[in-house]
Structure 1
């Protein structure tokens, strides 16, 4: 007994000696130690008093009340009561968004009044039980976290074009990742077809599936155009998510970023032109990624940028006499000029439709071969371009083909009074399109391969400015073609694609 007392007194004396030798702690050191014992979450607004913060982690008895059927993280992350974007929580029972979790906050009030207890912080991806206010740590909630923020490894991305594995949604619907419908909020189908087509451009998709690829891009202070890049990346990850709760995605946040950064030029309440949206979107993405005029400055230019040479000569006025025309042609103003121009897509002109009906009193639907349209870019065919006072003749010569070639088939002609649509059908092969036929022998030698395969085809149906758009895309993993019109997704035979009124096409260069 005496030995035990001696040992206790000895340890106590040693502890007192160590305490005396320790340097006195400053106020900052004490404050730092207190914060380590009770860390403050930076995203909490308004802050929760320390006496109300509970640090114990335990299993929650209310996990069985979570309703995954109503969870939808596609819409803007703001409180349904205060419309604030700060510190927003999703109620996992009813799917609504509320702000805060301390006393007198909207989430706290909702949990008490409706007896909904499980909430997810949409920024930190941490789960909490209210009003008891403790964090829930449970691996069964990982699927909810993954739906909110899908992530992909390099191995998963590389195997995407080799897999035809179907995924199952919460309601039992089977779907192919990448082949999911996009919700049409009102009149945004012209945006949906472009976003669907771009999601099947392999290098662009692979780049945006890994957030780390563009997370380090630095923009000038006060510039928030990078939001467009983030929203597009989120949409790509949701479209290719193999563990989605539903077989469709709503592009609501993506379209809000488009409306904001296009300064309301493109709306989702009014029908627009996919070509104008495509041109603006690719350039806006390129600039937001700090792209420059260099061909390898962004993933957009690396995928779509090609180069052409434009030969331009001015035409003398028709009303002049031959002698006056000859005199004008000797002037420097009327000599042919050569300019090098980059391009993201090529504009193909359709021949004018026939004015007369056939013997059965029905309109003749003309047809034209794709190679006929491409003769415009062989460097020899001239086309006249008119302005309000001058006329020009231009020739186009392709100098460099991009890895992904976008063709815009110009179907609409606008004048002062109305817009007219050309219904001419373009006959094109789905595979083995040789664009080397329009290149000069010298330029063709610089290209290792000029064979392209179609990967996306956008179609316009109906009257000009009032019709609808749909898109055909190739799922490389299964080798099948699918037709997507907003939420409607069906498979389609490749032979049927060539019978449609093609408007925009994306071709992929064969690497082997």
Structure 2
């Protein structure tokens, strides 16, 4: 039977609340028992404690440290301990908004029109959506991916409203949504966000393929993240649709010319439903349609010799020249899984195209970097 809790507006300890030490970006675990059940945050020192009963850690902390104001991290209710009454005061609403940022659909629609800067508690100014992400320990590959995805308006708008993905039971989806709301929240206490909870969900969902303290490839991480979010967001396997595919999925026509003697080995890796034509010189042409979420661009090799100043020349190549790979005429030779000549043509463009340049190559000794720069002359909207 639930006990009756007194509700009071006047609490003599509200002036002890210290917003400077409050940080709700970390995992909601008790600092003593390490449990995530019924956890409260002390609004005086910022530490997390479990329970509020007579023998709970929060109750003991209130007696030992003289800290009396606690907020339930799940229900967002504020209590005074050890007295045990609930505090109902409008001055605490800003703390609730930082704990769980909320956006109305009308706010989301006009979010891009906002040019007003917000002020953190330390006096620094920040623009919502343009905040920094803490590099916890070699997690910059996650930060650059998140900052890139936050610029995609339909994706951002989708994750700002939790009702859009409440059907999903994936912690990764909900942590990504929480991180999106914190980045775009205009009432934060500080001008940066820590993606700690999101990183913990990534480690669990990827089975520690991506983890804190281990540097990883951002392209590989983005590919994994987009495919995992799509798999967790789609309502059914028959309806293979999600906000991820709506934003990023395009379609390629792949024409593969391969010698007949390599065809048997290559059929195991072939695309289902591909059209096959055989020419008189023993070459077999396979035509298939392949969906994609991102396109890889091949950079020309760097020059072998130095310039007159005895420095390596950093070549610059127009982006349009690199994109000729996908004009349907340029031939790309591949050797794996078998020797073949490939031609690619984009037959359906996505709303937002992700391009990555293959700059790093691995050999038996070290990782080699191609310093070639891709010049972008204009932005296409």
Which of 367, 374, 381 in structure 2 is aligned with 1:426?
Answer: 374
Tell me the residue number matched to 2:150: 199
Tell me which structure has the larger Cα radius of gyration: 1
SS at match of 1:268: coil
Which of 361, 375, 385 in structure 1 is aligned with 2:310?
Answer: 361
Q: After superposition, where does 1:176-195 map in structure 2 within 5 Å?
A: 176-195=127-146
Q: How many residues align?
A: 365
Matched, 1:352 2:313: no
Deviation at 1:296, TM superposition (A): 6.9
Which of 219, 222, 242 in structure 1 is aligned with 2:186?
Answer: 242
The alpha-carbon distance between structure 1 residues 261 and 331, as it changes in their structure 2 partners (threshold 3 A), is: farther
SS at match of 1:338: strand
Deviation at 1:313, TM superposition (A): 1.1
Aligned 8 A contact 2:259 2:284 in 1: no
Matched, 1:92 2:67: no
Tell me the residue number matched to 2:126: 175
TM-score by length of 2: 0.92
C-alpha separation in 2, matches of 1:97 and 1:374: 52
CA deviations 1:118-177 (Å, max 9, x no partner) are: 000000000000000000000110000000001111111111111110001111111100
Matched, 1:285 2:233: no
Aligned 8 A contact 1:411 1:422 in 2: yes
Tell me the residue number matched to 1:393: 341
Matched, 1:375 2:324: yes
Deviation at 1:57, TM superposition (A): 2.8
CA deviations 1:279-326 (Å, max 9, x no partner) are: 000000000112668897100000000001100011589xxxxxxxxx
Which of 275, 281, 284 in structure 2 is aligned with 1:335?
Answer: 284
Which of 330, 339, 363 in structure 2 is aligned with 1:415?
Answer: 363
CA deviations 1:368-403 (Å, max 9, x no partner) are: 010000000000001000137x31110001100000
Tell me the residue number matched to 2:205: 261
Tell me the residue number matched to 1:105: 56
The alpha-carbon distance between structure 1 residues 373 and 364, as it changes in their structure 2 partners (threshold 3 A), is: same
C-alpha separation in 2, matches of 1:308 and 1:356: 37
Deviation at 1:267, TM superposition (A): 1.3
SS at match of 2:12: coil
Deviation at 1:330, TM superposition (A): 4.0
C-alpha separation in 1, matches of 2:182 and 2:214: 25
C-alpha separation in 1, matches of 2:358 and 2:149: 20
Aligned 8 A contact 1:275 1:408 in 2: yes
Tell me the residue number matched to 2:257: 313
Deviation at 1:331, TM superposition (A): 7.7
SS at match of 1:172: coil
- Name stretches of at least 5 consecutive residues in structure 2 with no aligned partner: 262-277
Tell me the residue number matched to 1:31: none
SS at match of 1:147: helix
SS at match of 2:180: helix
Aligned 8 A contact 2:32 2:57 in 1: yes
C-alpha separation in 2, matches of 1:361 and 1:54: 79
Matched, 1:274 2:218: yes
Deviation at 1:106, TM superposition (A): 0.3
Deviation at 1:329, TM superposition (A): 6.3
The alpha-carbon distance between structure 1 residues 376 and 369, as it changes in their structure 2 partners (threshold 3 A), is: same
- Name stretches of at least 5 consecutive residues in structure 1 with no aligned partner: 1-34, 41-49, 220-225, 318-327, 432-451, 453-509
Which of 248, 264, 271 in structure 2 is aligned with 1:304?
Answer: 248
TM-score by length of 1: 0.69
Aligned 8 A contact 1:79 1:88 in 2: yes
Aligned 8 A contact 2:260 2:284 in 1: no
SS at match of 2:365: coil
Q: After superposition, where does 1:88-237 map in structure 2 within 5 Å?
A: 88-217=39-168, 226-237=170-181
Aligned 8 A contact 2:28 2:36 in 1: yes
C-alpha separation in 1, matches of 2:30 and 2:123: 30
C-alpha separation in 2, matches of 1:414 and 1:353: 16
RMSD: 1.8
The alpha-carbon distance between structure 1 residues 197 and 293, as it changes in their structure 2 partners (threshold 3 A), is: farther
SS at match of 1:404: coil
